[in-house]
A and B are shown apart, each in its own frame.
Chain A
Amino acid sequence: MAFNFNWSPLTADASFYTRAQELLTAALNKSPKPPIIVDDILVNELNLGSVPPDLEILEIGDLAEDRFRGIFKMCYTGDAFLTLKTRVQANPLNTYLSTKPSFASPQPLAASSGLTIPIQITLSEIKLSAFIILVFSKQKGLTLVFRNDPLESLKVSSTFDAIPFVREYLQKEIEGQLRTLLMDEVPVIIHRLSQRLWLPDYREKEGQELARNLQDPTTEEKPVDPLASPPQDPVDVSGNILDASQIAALSLDSSSEMHALFSQKNLLRLGALTDSHRTLSLFTPGIRDVVFRAWAGPTERGEMLGSSGKATPATPAMTRSHSYTGSFSTTYVFSDAPDAGNHSTRPTLMSLGSATSGLSHASSKHGKPHGGRKRKHRVVNLRKKTADGDDLDSISGESSTASGTMSSAPSVFGGRPQTPARREDELITPPSTPDLLREQKEPGDGTLTRTRGLTTRLPQRDESADITPRASVHGAFMEASHVGPQPEEGKRPTLRPSQTLQYPLKERREQASPATLQGPARQLSPSPFAESPVEGILGQAWMTRMASEIARKVQDQEAAKSGFWDHNEGEDLPPPAYGA
């Protein structure tokens, strides 16, 4: 860990000096003044000098994002100086007698009459040596306490240097006063100053040394924030497209607000969508930048077995046929789904493979009319996602499942834990190049391949179908990509900044490189193009598009990296699906 103590910005800030002077003035006049000083003490000039104090870290007792406690050893022999203005009693007899009990005072008649003189005192060559206990808390500001008497020596020069008594007296008095000031008042001053700096303006805080210390931990935790990984073409509530920089700013500021922004409207639509599936209504709400993908495959069957009694046993066949044709399977992928964390219900959705199946099944039934339309637009969106890599895919899977899950699928959870092993198997099987990957991402293709794979295994699946909604390759994807060796269902759904994403993060990063992209590719069927010529054409078009997308993305990433690496990293993360 590195500590960066910055001395010059503190001293360069003009407003800092005025504030410090005000506070010092108040502090100096608060404590009872020695009798020689007969007026308020004004801080005329304050300069912290250019020589920073030597700090030695003795102990760090507590270190967290929002608090810090440590003990320092400080030595200061700098060129700071302080000029005070006040009025003093020039008659030594007067001050001498004022401190004596009147009973034993000679009680001079007029020899002790006062003469007040304005005086300017300069404190320089301040030598400090102290142990400092520093406590920082985001809420309470900075507290600094001297453990011992910090003042080693000090030079007091004043208007009365010619008079030895006055000089000695001033030296003695001011040293004493300064000691109490350092021990009692300076902590208060610093505390107030820190509060002023901290509270109104968060940025300044970071400029301070302490905040700097704390920055490392904060940045590490930031990627966990779902908003730090915005979708490719994010949308705000009004449907305006935001660019990455805006998103970054937004997600930095307050994630909770963003959640609210994204979720509400889309959730309503999602609800309408799921309802439409349930009721078989022909109306499906248009969701911007979203592709709803209906998987035709054993998953659905399994799902249906598990959850929805509606599904007919015949469906698998139907879906299969659809998938073979590849054209008409409707897939809804929610490309902009940042607010996964919002919905506590998510866990149930997770099992989704199954849920989707139900959905997709339904959609496939009446999906044809939509199909063509969707292809034109939404498919493209899907590609955008995939550009990122498998994450996106997984997201789409998630999201789709989410939509589906609204309706169903609690039982699936039980089966989940077993799935990872099988998925891993799948992962191993198909080796492929990044290029392939991209092409495969084409919607029709993807579905086809997957379904194919599924179909081949169908017989086996059927056995386990009740337990695992395996059919959905997406589920596998997600598991593989999101979760570490042992995917935990419970964690996944939350997608909260906390723990779940930590591990996946690393994987994500790796995936960002082309090599990692292969991972998803493997899962896809080895030969995407073999399926149909139509898809080949589409794929080419899509490829070109993807190439441009990827290029753009790399640029973005690099740009982002320079400033904000955590944000960049966040992009690798799967955009959180809509929680349902």
Chain B
Amino acid sequence: MLGFMDYVQNAFYEASHWNRDNSYGTLTATSRNILDFQTPDGIRLHVSSLASPNFATSYTLGSVGLVDGSLSYLYSSLPLTAYASKSSAIDLHRVVPGYRQLQDLRQPDEPRWWEIWHQGKRVDRREALLYGRLFLPRSTLEALYLRRLTPKAQLRVSCVSDSRLPNGGTILAHLQYDAAKHNTEYIYSTDSALLGVRGLYNFGPEPPLVEQPFEQSPDPTISTANEAVALATAPAPVRPNGRFSAGGEIYYGLLNKSGGISTGLRFTTLPAHTGFPYTMTLTLNPLMGNLSSTYSVLASPLLALSSRFDFNVYSYESELQVGTELWRRKSRPMPDDLDWARRKLGLPLLEQSLAKVDDADDMAGCLKARLDQRGSLGLLWEGRVKELLYSCGLTLDLKSAQNMVRGFGLEVQYSS
């Protein structure tokens, strides 16, 4: 389950029109969500609040042997009102990452759309997000600075300060250019001066230009001339069924003179696809001879399956992992099937059957399970009870007769 701060950051991405999925780093996000989920360890309690549309706080108290905790604050220059912040109202799909359905690409905003002029002067500022988190007993400080430099670029600087780290901490600068059709990222880490470049290219037609947001006439029945022309000349939008992407990354540590390289392919269906959505990826690390293929499928709105096969051509080591994600709808009194009878009898319909519908996608919880060939089984149940979001995880080792339970944890989250 995503923490509240991650949830808020995602809200910031959406509010600033940043497409998180269009990056080489998230090429395998779907299978990772289903196969590599983290099970909580020990008992952990989060209390969070979006005190104002721009400011969020979160406190964590955990107990794994000894009590620890963290304080975190977040400031966003964009008001984050698009998403509910109350834990009773948060959409579970947003905090429980699962199968990621990619959306149609969309052209980045025109820079001029961001311009705000006031009395002959440009007064607009770059949107930014500041985030800090202090882990208390360990005195570790995490800081994040996120800035949308241009509609196509984003700078992300994350820092960790910890006396136990070499040099007392590390800073990672991450510059991303997203031009919809292709995406490039540049990475620099102060730790051993690691340089990295990532790129992703989406095959297929150029995404359609987003229409200029017209000045809507107050009266919707009267369309402006502009609009009429646009409507008339707009070609019927061709929505592709799927998208094929290829990317690669390369890293090089200047100080330790070591590096890494990998390439990847992905094919995923888009919403226009009429069958069940699926995603296939293939990544290759040519240096280390590592080959990894995944196949994930959203069999129904409530069920996603994923499998991954890793193979190393040098050491002949292989690994197979399968996982599933099963959603459960909130149990509600079924609208009785007697409505037709009431209608016929002229009786008034019951209140509840009228009220149903709207939050049909409200989920009660989600069960994730994964199993690998070494007999390690992970189970995670996430859901909502009353106002609380909870996440309950269990790790089992099926092959060891004694001491099968490797980890167990419970996380409870409340936000307002």
- Please determine whether chains A and B interact with each other in the same assembly: yes
| Interface residues in chain A, defined as those with a beta carbon under 8 Å from any beta carbon in chain B | 90-93, 96, 100-101, 103-117, 164-165
| Interface SS, B side | strand
A101 cross-chain contacts in B, Cβ below 8 A: 140, 142, 160, 162, 165, 170
**Interchain CB contact (< 8 A) of B260 among A100, A104, A105, A108:** A108
Which of B14-22, B223-231, B247-255, B370-378 lies at the interface?
Answer: B247-255
Say yes or no: B290 contacts A114, CB within 8 Å. Answer: yes
A115 cross-chain contacts in B, Cβ below 8 A: 288-290, 312, 314-315
| Interface residues in chain B, defined as those with a beta carbon under 8 Å from any beta carbon in chain A | 24-25, 27-28, 140, 142, 144, 158-160, 162, 165, 170-172, 174, 187, 189, 191-192, 194, 196, 198, 247, 249-251, 253, 256-264, 283-285, 287-290, 292, 310, 312, 314-315, 317
Say yes or no: A111 contacts B174, CB within 8 Å. Answer: no
| Interface SS, A side | loop
Q: Besides A91-B288, A106-B189, A109-B283, 18 other CB < 8 A contacts?
A: A91-B285, A91-B287, A92-B253, A93-B253, A93-B260, A96-B192, A96-B258, A100-B191, A103-B158, A104-B189, A109-B198, A110-B283, A111-B250, A111-B261, A114-B290, A115-B290, A115-B315, A165-B256
**Interchain CB contact (< 8 A) of B264 among A93, A103, A110:** A110
* CA of A107 to CA of B198, assembled, Å: 11
A103 cross-chain contacts in B, Cβ below 8 A: 142, 144, 158, 160
Say yes or no: B192 contacts A113, CB within 8 Å. Answer: no
* CA of A97 to CA of B19, assembled, Å: 26
Say yes or no: A165 contacts B258, CB within 8 Å. Answer: yes
A113 cross-chain contacts in B, Cβ below 8 A: 262, 283, 285, 288, 290, 292, 310
Say yes or no: B172 contacts A111, CB within 8 Å. Answer: no
A93 cross-chain contacts in B, Cβ below 8 A: 251, 253, 258-260
A116 cross-chain contacts in B, Cβ below 8 A: 315, 317
Say yes or no: A109 contacts B288, CB within 8 Å. Answer: no
Closest A-chain residue to B255, C-beta based?
A165
* CA of A111 to CA of B189, assembled, Å: 15
* CA of A527 to CA of B141, assembled, Å: 109
Closest B-chain residue to A107, C-beta based?
B25
* CA of A114 to CA of B287, assembled, Å: 10
* CA of A263 to CA of B174, assembled, Å: 93
* CA of A130 to CA of B24, assembled, Å: 54
* CA of A112 to CA of B263, assembled, Å: 12
B249 cross-chain contacts in A, Cβ below 8 A: 108-111
**Interchain CB contact (< 8 A) of A111 among B144, B251, B256:** B251
**A37 to chain B: closest CB distance in Å?**
15
Say yes or no: A100 contacts B170, CB within 8 Å. Answer: yes
**Interchain CB contact (< 8 A) of B315 among A96, A107, A109, A117:** A117
Closest A-chain residue to B165, C-beta based?
A101
**B291 to chain A: closest CB distance in Å?**
9
Closest A-chain residue to B187, C-beta based?
A106
* CA of A107 to CA of B262, assembled, Å: 12
**B196 to chain A: closest CB distance in Å?**
5
* CA of A109 to CA of B260, assembled, Å: 10
* CA of A96 to CA of B260, assembled, Å: 11
**B141 to chain A: closest CB distance in Å?**
10
